[in-house]
Amino acid sequence: MKTLFLIADGMGDWPIDALDGKTPLQAARTPHMDALARRGAMGLCRTVPEGMPPGSDVANMSLLGFDPAHLHTGRGPIEAAAQGIDAGPDDLIWRLNVVTLDGLHPGDHMRDYSSGHIATAESHKLIHRLQAELGDDRFRFVPGIQYRHLLIEKNGAKGPGATTDIRPPHDITDQPVDKDLESFAGYPELFELVRKAADILNGEDNPTKANSIWPWGQGRPLHLPDFAATFGCKGAVVTAVDLVRGLGKAAGMATPEVVDVTGLLDTNYEGKVEAALDFLTSGGDFVFVHLEAPDECGHAGNIADKIESIERFDARVVAPIVAALGAEARYLIACDHLTPIAIRTHASDPVPFLYAGPDTLEEKTGVVFNEAACTASGLVLETGHELLPWVLAR
């Protein structure tokens, strides 16, 4: 039987005054998800284990059936897996942003985690230069996409630990970096590298907005169990996002490339749907289709766009997939975590989910898919990585 996980990143939300107490999912027109809800089952699932940060990496790992509490090593390692970068078992893989900072002294602020959404060609020049001037047996700069790169530290020590670690730069826009400077003190050689990089990037010959590097999200290389061996089905991940692709690759899943996917409202929905259906018709059993846009709209605090992104998910992902596969397939619709408009970042609340399959064909009336309906159902899966086996067992 074919199984589809259709994941709208950050879709879940809290009631919003400007929407008369509705959430964006309640305010959005979602006739196709509501049709599945009329015959399906709804519930809540805790995708972020107690004590872990509510990142997309952690939450999507849960949705893919793997326990982040045991298998998650950091964000850098997942992105390295996405790029197929080799690292030794004792290496530390850092995610590396090129950023715009006031400077590296107490009271200085993080201004832009993306260096003005720097173009890949521009950032590659910078990363290649940093590798040429600062790369050595200890540190290796690996270019990625736009502002997102990697730094591999040979036999890196794990440092003072997650509670004092360097914060993701997108979480501290226009905030002072004092706390992070304290964390950098736990990694003196790394901080020396950061200071030297800032000297180079602040030179007059750098025309970009990038004036510093920002290593974070470090961990040992990621090893996930093989998806097919673990769950007995051949799976694929369709996504615009490296982080989610990396999880799929690490689990030995197919990760078909789709052209013109952007991770934003204007993404290539039809291309993603086609890639998912192609995989299923060529012998695949399971596809995880991931749509990033609702999360981006949540971070932007844009209510209208978040509603629009949910309506497009319903009309251009859910509708054509259900039309193609009908009542014979199993569907799971969920988000990885909430990205509430009120806080413009991720929340750790359990996520709403909707399941419909050949075992749920009886139609009910007056049922719609939203956070309140999922909460009212009383079904709560407290262990996120048990959701996928729960679906496969039905």
Pick between residue 42 and residue 335 the one whose CB is nearest to Zn ion: 335
Taking the complex as a whole, the smallest distance from the CB of residue 337 to Zn ion amounts, in Å, to 5
Dihedral sign for Cα atoms in the order 191, 151, 71, 297: positive
Number of residues located near Zn ion, criterion CB under 5 A: 4
Q: Which amino acid is at 249?
A: K
| Residue span binding Zn ion (CB under 5 A) among the ranges 61-69, 170-178, 335-343, 359-367 | 335-343
Question: Considering the rule CB under 5 A, would residue 296 count as an interface residue with Zn ion?
Answer: no
Per-residue binder mask for Zn ion (CB under 5 A), 252-291, x = binder: ----------------------------------------
Pick between residue 134 and residue 293 the one whose CB is nearest to Zn ion: 293
Which residue minimizes CB distance to Zn ion? 56
Distance CA 364, CA 62 (A): 30
Residues between 74 and 113 that touch Zn ion (CB under 5 A):
none
Q: Which of 3, 8, 9, 248 binds Zn ion (CB under 5 A)?
A: 9
| Residue span binding Zn ion (CB under 5 A) among the ranges 8-16, 86-94, 117-125, 385-393 | 8-16
Pick between residue 30 and residue 60 the one whose CB is nearest to Zn ion: 60
Question: Considering the rule CB under 5 A, would residue 349 count as an interface residue with Zn ion?
Answer: no
What does residue 364 show for φ and ψ, rounded to 5 degrees? -110, 165
Taking the complex as a whole, the smallest distance from the CB of residue 295 to Zn ion amounts, in Å, to 5
The gap from C-alpha 21 to its chain's centroid, in whole angstroms, comes to: 27
Q: Which of 336, 341, 354, 381 binds Zn ion (CB under 5 A)?
A: 336
| Residue span binding Zn ion (CB under 5 A) among the ranges 53-61, 209-217, 261-269, 351-359 | 53-61
Taking the complex as a whole, the smallest distance from the CB of residue 81 to Zn ion amounts, in Å, to 17
Per-residue binder mask for Zn ion (CB under 5 A), 144-173, x = binder: ------------------------------
Taking the complex as a whole, the smallest distance from the CB of residue 160 to Zn ion amounts, in Å, to 27
Residues between 192 and 221 that touch Zn ion (CB under 5 A):
none
| Residue span binding Zn ion (CB under 5 A) among the ranges 45-53, 250-258, 272-280, 330-338 | 330-338
**Residue from 112, 114, 143, 140 nearest 126 by CA:** 143
Distance CA 2, CA 287 (A): 8
Distance CA 267, CA 278 (A): 19
Q: At what angle do helices 56-63 and 242-250 cross, to 10 degrees?
A: 40
Dump the DSSP string for 291-348.
Answer: E-HHHHHHHHT-HHHHHHHHHHHIIIIIHHHHHHHGGGSEEEEE-SSB--TTTTS-B-
Radius of gyration in angstroms for the set of CA atoms belonging to the chain, rounded to a whole number? 21
Taking the complex as a whole, the smallest distance from the CB of residue 334 to Zn ion amounts, in Å, to 11
Pick between residue 151 and residue 241 the one whose CB is nearest to Zn ion: 241
Question: Considering the rule CB under 5 A, would residue 56 count as an interface residue with Zn ion?
Answer: yes
Question: Which residues partner with 334 through β-bridges?
Answer: 7, 353
Are the CB atoms for 168 and 149 separated by under 8 Å?
A: no
Residues between 21 and 40 that touch Zn ion (CB under 5 A):
none
Taking the complex as a whole, the smallest distance from the CB of residue 41 to Zn ion amounts, in Å, to 23
Pick between residue 127 and residue 338 the one whose CB is nearest to Zn ion: 338
**Residue from 19, 3, 53, 18 nearest 348 by CA:** 53
Taking the complex as a whole, the smallest distance from the CB of residue 241 to Zn ion amounts, in Å, to 8
First and final C-alpha spacing in the chain? 10
Pick between residue 112 and residue 336 the one whose CB is nearest to Zn ion: 336
Taking the complex as a whole, the smallest distance from the CB of residue 9 to Zn ion amounts, in Å, to 4
Pick between residue 79 and residue 295 the one whose CB is nearest to Zn ion: 295
- As a three-state string, the secondary structure of 166-229 is CCCHHHCCCCECHHHHHHHCCCHHHHHHHHHHHHHHCCCCCCCCCCEEEEEEEECCCCCCCHHH
Taking the complex as a whole, the smallest distance from the CB of residue 335 to Zn ion amounts, in Å, to 7
Dihedral sign for Cα atoms in the order 60, 43, 292, 271: positive
Under the rule (CB under 5 A), what is the footprint of Zn ion? 9, 56, 295, 336
